[in-house]
Structure 1
Amino acid sequence: MLKKEFPPDLPWFEGINALLDLGYQGIQTDYAGDGIRIPHKKPRKSKKIRILS
């Protein structure tokens, strides 16, 4: 839906800082701009029970 509203061939995100959520993964490969920031995913915690000896 983002590509329909904002075609990737135009410089939409150049010259601005955009802080996006994890729903926009892959936007950095489709759109040009150095100010596009997406947070890193948190690693999942292991559900294994560890027994310490």
Structure 2
Amino acid sequence: MKTLEDVIKTIGSERKLFPQANASQGAAGQAGAIPPSGDANIDKLIQQGQARLDALTGKK
């Protein structure tokens, strides 16, 4: 089972591998967020997930 620290390291390495994902404004209105899907329900779920991820990583 992965620890939270392992997950954060994995996320950090993925951001280094895929820098183009960091440049767009997404559902959460932040650089690096997932781009909007066009479906309000999906965008809301993405935004909630991004907020949880940001809370775990200490990002605002």
TM-score by length of 1: 0.23
Query: In proportion to residue count, which structure has more strand?
Result: 1
Larger radius of gyration: 1
Query: In proportion to residue count, which structure has more helix?
Result: 2
TM-score by length of 2: 0.22
Structure number with higher relative contact order (C-alpha < 8 Å, ≥ 6 residues apart): 1
